[in-house]
Structure 1
Amino acid sequence: MKTHALRCLAAALLAAMAACSTVGPDYRVPGQAMVKLDAANGPLAGLEASSARSAPLPAHWWRLYDDPVLDDLVGQAFAANTDLRVAAANLQRAAAVVDEAGAGRRPNVSVSAAPAYGRASGAAKGVPYALPDMGTYDTGASVSYQVDLFGKLSRGLEAAHADADAAQAAYDLARVNVAAGTVRAYADTCAAGRQLDVARRSVALQEQFADLTRKRAGMGRGTSLDISRAQGQLEQLRAAVPPLEAQRATALYRLAVLVGKVPGSLPASLAACHVPPTLRDPVPVGDGAALLRRRPDIRQAERALAAATARIGVATAELYPSISLGLSAGSTGTLSRLGADNSLRWSLGPLISWSLPNTGLARSHIEQAEAGSAAALARFDATVLNALRETSSALTVYARDLDRTDALRAARDRNREAAEQARTLYRLGRTDFLTALDADRTLAGSESALTAAQGQLAADQAALFLALGGGWE
């Protein structure tokens, strides 16, 4: 009879297992998500043939600059940047959480051993004499296994895997930021060096002009007012040098931190850079579909949505009973009878441990999980829209700055011709001092504006590559 009852119980349990399935929604990207819109997957807004092209973005986009120094700096940053170290540690932690979630699906084994020496109470046992001192022991082992009838453990493991994928995407995003930040810091260093060259050249020219003005005044062909004005212009140009030196120094400090070094410890040769990295061809940007596949923050948001969806299943499983199986065996007795047949024990109890759910609490958890999933979808949509906005904005700014640089270059060329003509006429006495001084002032301003615009182009390119999200593959 007992054997028959056990067989019936086992058959009923197997039938229940076969009838049950994983509860909660199976994850798929929602059809209404922004990432699936045709407009989001088409050509990028702001794309102009003069500044960008629809060719695929290469994985190591900084190599488009063909600058070995820059390539080496990016490599150093990938190897030692502290933000990447943090992201790598978070990724390792996420992997450990996956292992923890998977452990719930494996049997739980425990072993115990409790030797003791002492005397039991004779009065407690109802005898009028003292019991003898003796050694006792209790050893045992137990195995328990939670039956995942409704998929609570499976959904939890699914959520942990999605979280680990999100952590991987966060690491890839950190690589994108580090690559773009390194290029930007290097470009800022070189642009500041170029602006310093222009500023110092303007100072040298003005020094020559001021000296010429003093000589002409000594020969009666000028006045003390001319000398004061020339000297004032000289000091004005000298005042532009210290801020540029500070810009170069701070860019070098930023670059040092990005590559994992102490500020001020970079080679002196980097400070001697005077030519910002430039691209010979329009920037390859691909299309919207490629952008959405490539940006790690979009993948991170999508994986967060997958994790939130899986947690709905975890919460839904709380509506159903939790069933676990158990088996234990051991030996208990006196030390003198260690291992004797009559000291052995075993049990299939609890064969089944059935915990009835708290329905009200479970439904509250389901509502919380569903709200979390809705918020994750909204964040996913926002990330997609923001990626498209950032890229289109970067494309537009870069294209307009290219136009501005071309105009400033033409203005600089005309102003240089005007300044040379004014200096010649002034030396020949065919124009007044103020005309020559104003021409020099205009040339100095146009050269400074042009070099600043060229430096901004390098910064625009770094911002565009950052928006494109390349560099983690």
Structure 2
Amino acid sequence: MRNTHKLTTIAVLVMSLSACAVGPEYQAPAKVADINVSSPYQQAELTQNWWQAFDDESLNRLIQRALNENRTLAQARANVDRAYAVFQDADNDILPKGTLDAGYQASENAVLQPTNDSVIIRGYSTGANLSWDLDLFGKLRRATEASEAQAHQADILWHDAQVQLISQVATSYGEYRGAQLRLVVAEQNLQNLQQSRAIVMARLEAGMASELELAQIDVQMHQVNAAIPAYRVALLTADATLSALLAQRPGQLELDDMPRLPQLKKPVAVVEGENYLRYRADVASSERLLAARTAEIGVATADLYPNVSISGFLGFLSGPGLSLGSDTKSWAVSPSLSWQAADLGSVKARIRQAEASSQMALAEFEQQVFNAINEMQLALNSYNLSREQQLSTELQWQASNKAVAISRERYNAGTGEFLDLLDSERELLRSRDQLAQLQQQSFIRLVEIYRSFGGGIQLI
């Protein structure tokens, strides 16, 4: 009874000590108190399906293929699996370990005595070898906390890789459609110039125009022709980028030749008071890194204290007769204690390293927050200004169309100056190409809004 009481007391003491863990308990950063990243996977479907708001079947198909085939994304997914395997391995370290072993041994003249000459001894052992680190000061538990935080970080970064991939595909798609649009615009401009050239040629044949006027209109036609190869290069570049993102060879996108840029049917809405930082994977991942670095302080601090472990054996040991029975049963218990007492200077240095790493992680987290806030605001402002510029250019293009029609009509009737026609044609070319560029720019900046908001922004 007394022995049972002693064993119970020892067990309770060990459990009480095992409940302790040195090092600081992790607390969410207080210096940026309005940030809540406790649920980094909130509304994951929303953050990964935002592109469907464009209602563009070709874009939907490209993004879905990229999500299925992109190798960088596959690498990020494998990194998640690896990180969780590391966490599971660390989590198991707190439990007793054991192996089942069986061994056979034969020896001759094992002892250097005359009586043992030519004597062969045979024997074997079989049983379970067990070991258990009691983790009295929480080194293993802190290591588990660190590996779990790193596994969460890998998971967050995988979600971020999806958002980044979707944004890259959408941006490259916009560049592809933009190059198509500018190519079509150039071809339309050539047609307009050919109409003007036909008028100049007719007037030249009638003796009402000069060779200089014909040469001047030809100059504009050659300028437009010279720009067309650059648009084709931009188209090939966008094709190559998209193909790489989709893990396929160039020229296999199977996109139609219709130069249309996706448009939203509803405007983008930023909800006042909404914490969009919770969708930002860079903020959430840096917070998880901070948690891991904080736990690593405890891992280093635990080395200031002794480490207690127990090893044992339970099985059978056989002598020369190789018999197996109750008389060959064997067991052993070997408690041990180790302490880095002679190397505490190095232990304290490692603690300072861990503390410095934690401070670095805190500074990184805070900087990520400020970067994210400014990036989101810049994306909104840039898109709004791009839309204003696009609307103004649309009005400019409409006015240029009207000016060309009037100039052409007057010049054909002989009441207008050729320079007026030439200037209006030049302005029409410039404004129409600029409008195509701004349409592409507005779409890309809209994609940047979704990317900078982590895909969490909504439509109204």
Residue equivalent to 2:356: 371
Residue equivalent to 2:259: 274
In 2, Cα distance between equivalents of 1:77 and 1:153: 40
User: Can you list the C-alpha shifts for 1:122-151, whole angstroms capped at 9, x where unaligned?
Assistant: xx4422562333533233421111112211
SS at match of 2:275: helix
- Structure 1 residue runs without a partner (length 5+): 39-56
In 1, Cα distance between equivalents of 2:273 and 2:169: 26
Deviates more, 1:198-207 or 1:185-194: 185-194
Residue equivalent to 1:44: none
In 1, Cα distance between equivalents of 2:225 and 2:26: 65
> Which of 38, 51, 55 in structure 2 is aligned with 1:66?
55
Asked if structure 2 preserves the Cα contact closer than 8 Å seen for 1:288 and 1:388, the reply is no
- Within the alignment, does 1:18 sit opposite 2:16 as a pair? yes
**TM-score, normalising length: structure 2:** 0.90
Residue equivalent to 1:48: none
> Which of 318, 336, 347 in structure 2 is aligned with 1:362?
347
Asked if structure 2 preserves the Cα contact closer than 8 Å seen for 1:35 and 1:384, the reply is no
User: Can you list the C-alpha shifts for 1:11-30, whole angstroms capped at 9, x where unaligned?
Assistant: 35642542561211111212
User: Can you list the C-alpha shifts for 1:201-260, whole angstroms capped at 9, x where unaligned?
Assistant: 001111232233223212211121122111111101111211111112211221222222
> Which of 402, 427, 448 in structure 1 is aligned with 2:412?
427
> Which of 155, 160, 163 in structure 2 is aligned with 1:168?
155
Q: Where does 1:331-410 land on structure 2 (aligned, <5 Å)?
A: 331-334=316-319, 336-339=321-324, 341-348=326-333, 350=334, 352-357=335-340, 358-410=343-395
SS at match of 1:72: helix
In 2, Cα distance between equivalents of 1:286 and 1:262: 42
Residue equivalent to 1:132: 119
**TM-score, normalising length: structure 1:** 0.88
- Structure 2 residue runs without a partner (length 5+): 37-45
Residue equivalent to 1:76: 65
Percent identity over paired residues: 30
State the one-letter code of the partner of 1:213.
V
User: Can you list the C-alpha shifts for 1:394-425, whole angstroms capped at 9, x where unaligned?
Assistant: 11111111111111111111111111111011
Residue equivalent to 2:40: none
Deviation at 1:391, TM superposition (A): 0.6
Deviation at 1:271, TM superposition (A): 4.6
User: Can you list the C-alpha shifts for 1:320-343, whole angstroms capped at 9, x where unaligned?
Assistant: 111112221343344533225554
- Within the alignment, does 1:235 sit opposite 2:222 as a pair? yes
In 1, Cα distance between equivalents of 2:26 and 2:143: 13
Asked if structure 2 preserves the Cα contact closer than 8 Å seen for 1:176 and 1:471, the reply is no
Asked if structure 1 preserves the Cα contact closer than 8 Å seen for 2:383 and 2:445, the reply is yes
Deviation at 1:387, TM superposition (A): 0.7
> Which of 301, 304, 311 in structure 2 is aligned with 1:326?
311
- Within the alignment, does 1:464 sit opposite 2:449 as a pair? yes
Aligned CA RMSD, in angstroms, stands at: 2.5
SS at match of 2:381: helix
Structure 1 residues 12 and 341 mapped into 2: Cα distance closer, same or farther (>3 Å)?
closer
In 2, Cα distance between equivalents of 1:253 and 1:16: 64
User: Can you list the C-alpha shifts for 1:378-398, whole angstroms capped at 9, x where unaligned?
Assistant: 110111111111110111111
Asked if structure 2 preserves the Cα contact closer than 8 Å seen for 1:217 and 1:223, the reply is yes
Structure 1 residues 364 and 288 mapped into 2: Cα distance closer, same or farther (>3 Å)?
farther
Residue equivalent to 2:39: none
SS at match of 2:58: helix
Asked if structure 1 preserves the Cα contact closer than 8 Å seen for 2:175 and 2:238, the reply is yes
Structure 1 residues 186 and 273 mapped into 2: Cα distance closer, same or farther (>3 Å)?
farther
